[in-house]
Amino acid sequence: MPEAKLFFVYGTLRRGDDNDITRLTPAPQFIGEASIAGTMFHLGGYPGVTLGGSSQIVGEVYAVSAELEKKLDAIESEYPAQPDEYFKRAIRVQVAGQWRDCFVYEINPSFSVGKPIIASGDWVKDR
């Protein structure tokens, strides 16, 4: 996939969930399952993650085209609809035995204040 970027998805973009990334076009390429350090918050119909700490967040890594990246940005409100709810962050993720540069959507901490924590870090399992 030329000019593809890798994305770590942990919530509604995971396979089988409401915004299943595999149902979007152009189709992403599944790279593998992975986890990152962070804290997952239950925000109602979707989660948010703040990066860092000792807890692990369960997710999946996909190679995504520039066209699909724009759709992901729209889903995660990376443009005027709600420009400050999520921030696209560059992170390193170990997937399929290799460290890879990826992007992840991190929740603006002001949106997680007082929200319940999903201790397992697995949205699909424990929402």
| 126: phi then psi, degrees, rounded to nearest 5 | -125, 35
pLDDT tens profile 24-53: 999 999 999 999 999 999 999 999 999 998
Residue of 107, 110, 29 whose CA lies nearest to 64: 29
| 83 cis-preceded (ω within 30 degrees of 0) | no
DSSP H or E stretch at residue 75:
helix 66-75
pLDDT of amino acid 17 = 93
Cα–Cα dist 20/100, whole Å: 22
pLDDT of amino acid 76 = 85
The predicted model scores a pTM of 0.93
Which CATH superfamily does the domain covering 5-126 fall into? Answer: Gamma-glutamyl cyclotransferase-like (3.10.490.10)
- The domain locations on the chain are 5-126
| pLDDT tier, 1 (very low <50, low <70, confident <90, very high otherwise) | low
pLDDT of amino acid 82 = 65
Cα–Cα dist 121/57, whole Å: 4
pLDDT tens profile 61-108: 999 999 999 999 888 875 555 678 999 999 999 998 999 999 999 999
**Distances in whole angstroms, Cα of residue 53 to Cα of each of 36, 39, 103, 124:** 10, 7, 18, 21
Q: What percent of the chain has pLDDT over 90?
A: 83
Burial class (CB in 10 A: 0-12, 13-18, 19+), 88: middle
pLDDT of amino acid 81 = 59
